[in-house]
Each structure stands twice: as structure tokens, then as C-alpha cells.
Amino acid sequence: MTISIARTMSCLLFLSALFTLAMALTAPQARAQTFEHCPATVPMLPAAVLSEKVLDDVCIPDGFTGLPIEFFDDYSWRAFIGLVWPAKVGERGVPDASAELSEKGRPVVFETFKSDWEIFQPQGAAPSAWQAVGGENPCKVANLTSDDLVLAAFSKFNNLGQAGFGPRLVGPLVAQNRTYVRFQTAFNKIEFEQIDQGKLYLRDNLKGTMTFQPGAIDIKAAWIDMKDIAHSERFYTREAYLLDLETETCSKAKVGLVGLHIVQKTPSRPQWIWSSFEQVDNILEDRSLSPATFHAGDATPMPDENPYSFPPPVQVPAAFNVDRLKPVHASTAKTNEIYRKMLADAGVPWQFYKLVVTQWPIPIGDPAADGKPNKTFPGSGSSQTAFANLTMETFDQKTIIKGCMNCHNVTRDTTDFLWSLNTRAFPSLQAITARAAMSDKAVTKLSLPNVRLKNWAQVQPASEAFQLPEKQLSEFEALKELMESTQPEE
């Protein structure tokens, strides 16, 4: 029998093409997290659920006219549980619906989000694709994967300073075990891809017109080194790369989660919904265990302001006591009890975390509304209860003017409330400020607490292509006015 080689090759090529197509169709695709929609008829009381699905919006019954704090706090707990659910293997930002919440040995969903250092690369280099961990990393560790947690920054101290009111970092928080709190910022797939596709990691592309899509989520997490922590079983713990400030090298250490901000843009709340959680043993409160993470258990009050400035000392200084200056809202505490009991029944360390506050915009579905205190809850006239996370905003507890939404409102037009994008886009505001400070030109000075900034639009030499967009300059002038008008509430 005669066999045609050409015909055989044609068949082989056809089969190869079919095989390639089949592999493409069956290969894991990079997916965004699945959201759960509100039911057609929302019950008059929220029904607590332990689910891997984050709600796509707060669910409030039609015709409800009271304070909807129970519905917003239920939304926050649903977001929290969805983001601490075990992540699907090989898929960043996606929960494993087949896993139990109690499953150990793999990262949780928010840990697989795109870290800020992955997005804001040195010299404005483009970030790697969503699934990849590419480019440079602060620890210079080879072969990192999305399962790894790097608690370090390209600038030595940048993940140690707490966020100040506006674009600056302020002093660190020192735990009672005499270690610094380390901060992590990360973004879900929806938010990352909009930054990536618009090249918003470059300051030239921040034109003051961008708006994130509903479903965008970013988180800020506070972690501590777990050495000498008495009740480690009450923390969510894992290994992470930590930077040694003396040797400037990284090594793995056991860390524990002490605080988590979750910020989500929703269809009905385009100014985002702001949810903040803490570990229950941060200070000595009801049902916490001694020794507390940030309180020595003595009568020494918390200082009025941070005794340590930024950048912090290389040698970790003595800890100071942290107090909660305003109580958690009674309704929030009630919702906490419901969810913490369910989590205790599930046997997971998340039972030892609590919601401190949900802050939301009062206008519904109004993109033109700002995030000032007269349009938020907590807000003007409703700031008698907690609105600050002790691990991230330790010294911003007294006045709602320093609350999350009002602070982020300053960058609303340029970066849709996202300070990390405004400050970290290349060139960073730190670099611009440093260049302004070294300039010998006669410029208008813009004074902020602990830092002197100048009119950047007049500082850049004419030969340089980059200019700070005028919109951002006006925002920081507005920030100055806000800070000067700030008066502590009685």
C-alpha cells in the first residue's frame, strides 16, 4: 500500500491544531472573583452567611428609611469572609468554592491580589500580567510566586510608615514585642487591569478623568512578626519575607494579621465602601486576652501624637500603649457577635477578628457626589463611634475630618479616591518632593505638617518633559486648606 507523505503531514498538522485548540479551551483562564448579587427581595434583617462569594453591593430592602448600618456591616463581613477564603490553586484572586474555610496550607484570596510593588516597578517599568509575578521585587528573591508574601518595599521604610492625612507617610506602629507593624497593599484583578491597560502607573497618564469599574477592590493589611506572641492560635498566621533594616536583606518569618482594610467600588456607592477589621487582642477590650499586642496592660495612656517620625529608626524603639478613643458602634458589635459565633463553630482563627467600622457614602448611585463628612456615615454629626483602625490610623481617631473617606476625597478627581495610585505612580511624589526641596528656584511654598512642599509646577526645568498635572497641584492645595481648618471635636 502506498502512503502519501504529504497527506499524512496534513493530517498530523490538523490533529496538532485540534490538540492545541483543545488545550487552550481546557487550560485555566485568568478569572476575576465571582460576586454574589442581591436577591430580588431583600429581607428586613440581614441573614449571616459564611460564603466564598463577596457581595457586589450592599443589599438594602426597598423602602427602608432607617440607618442601614446592619446591612452595610453584613456586607462588610461578607467581603471579609470572601477575601479570607482559601484561594483556588493557580488562579490569583479567586476563591476555591470546593474548599472549606478552615483549610490550611495555602494562601487566602486577598494574599494573591496584585501587590503594590508588582504594579509600581522601578523607573516606571510595566507590571507583569495578572497571573505572573515578574519584574523586580523588594527582596530580590528569585522565583517568587503569588503564594509568597513579601512585606517589604523598594524604598527601605515605605511599608513601615502609617498613612498620614494626604500623600505623606508618618511614624511607625511598634508592637509590644518590639517589632514594627508591616503594611501590605494589593489590588484585585478588576482594579489591576484598569491600572495596567491605562498605564496609570505612569504619572503622565493621570489626567483627572479616570474612574474605576464597579467590582474594583483594594486592600491594606497590617502584619506583625509573631516572635514572643503569647496566643498565636488566635491569629491568622503564615510565613512572609521580611526586610531586616540593618542588613537590608530579607528572610522568612512567621507573621500574624492584626488589621485589614477592604475598599470596594459598587454600583450604588461609586465613592466606594470602606470596611475595616482588627484582631481582637490588639488592645485590652471585652473578650480580648492579655498580653495585648499594642498595650502593656498598665495605666500609661496613649501619647497624643506618635513619638516616632518617618522614616523610623533602624533599631526598633520602645512600644507605646494604644487605646481606642471612640467605641465600636453598638450595632456593629452586635453583627460581630453573630459572625464570630459562626466562625467559632467553623473552628477557624477568623473568629478572633472583628469589624471596627463600615464607612459609606450616603448618596445612592451619584458619581458626582464627593466623600466629605457631610455625605458619609460615620460623618458630620455621627462620629461618636469608631471610624479608625488602630493598626493603621492610630493617631487619627479624634476627628472625622481625618477619617478614611475625607482623606481619600482629596484625590477623588485624579485617581478616584485611590491615594496609592496618586503617590506611587512614576515618578513618585517622594521623588518630586525631593526634587522640589533641592531646587534653588524661587517658588511658592506649600507647608504641610512635618514636611515642606513647593509648587511643583514651577520647579520642573523647562527642558524636562514631565510636569505635575495642574489638577493634582490644586488637590494638594485643597488638602492644605483642610488640614488648616481641622479642629478636634469636643
Q: pLDDT category, 208, cuts 50, 70, 90? A: confident
What are the grid coordinates assigned to 371, written together? Answer: 466623600
Q: pLDDT category, 99, cuts 50, 70, 90? A: very high
Q: pLDDT category, 318, cuts 50, 70, 90? A: very high
Distance CA 463, CA 181 (A): 42
Q: Per-residue pLDDT for 27 more than 80? A: no
187 Rama sector, left if φ>0, alpha if ψ -120 to 50, beta otherwise: beta
Spacing of C-alpha 394 from chain mean position:
16
In this prediction, residues 174-188 reach a mean pLDDT of 98
| Cβ atoms of residues 355 and 335 within 8 Å | yes
In this prediction, residues 190-204 reach a mean pLDDT of 96
Looking at residue 435, its pLDDT comes to 61
Looking at residue 7, its pLDDT comes to 35
Please give the mean pLDDT across all residues of the chain.
Answer: 85
Q: Per-residue pLDDT for 469 more than 90? A: no
Looking at residue 459, its pLDDT comes to 35
Looking at residue 438, its pLDDT comes to 54
Minimum mean pLDDT among 11-20, 54-63, 362-371: which range? 11-20
Give pTM, 2 decimals.
0.85
Q: Per-residue pLDDT for 485 more than 90? A: no
In this prediction, residues 81-99 reach a mean pLDDT of 97
Give percent of the chain with pLDDT exceeding 90.
74
In this prediction, residues 172-193 reach a mean pLDDT of 98
Q: 259 forms bridges with which residues in the sheet?
A: 222, 278
Do strands 237-243 and 150-151 pair parallel, antiparallel, or not at all (unpaired)?
parallel
Looking at residue 439, its pLDDT comes to 52
Q: Per-residue pLDDT for 162 more than 50? A: yes
Distance CA 327, CA 265 (A): 27
Nearest to 275 by CA among 236, 332, 206, 225: 332
Nearest to 94 by CA among 143, 132, 54: 54
| pLDDT (tens digit per residue) in 240-273 | 999 999 999 999 999 999 999 999 999 999 999 9
Distances (CA, A) of 270 to 47, 216, 282, 370, 413: 25, 10, 32, 10, 12
Q: Per-residue pLDDT for 436 more than 70? A: no
Q: pLDDT category, 169, cuts 50, 70, 90? A: confident
Looking at residue 12, its pLDDT comes to 32
Looking at residue 191, its pLDDT comes to 98
Q: Per-residue pLDDT for 214 more than 80? A: yes
Distance CA 350, CA 382 (A): 29
Distance CA 24, CA 230 (A): 50
| pLDDT (tens digit per residue) in 330-378 | 999 999 999 999 999 999 999 999 999 999 999 999 999 999 999 999 9
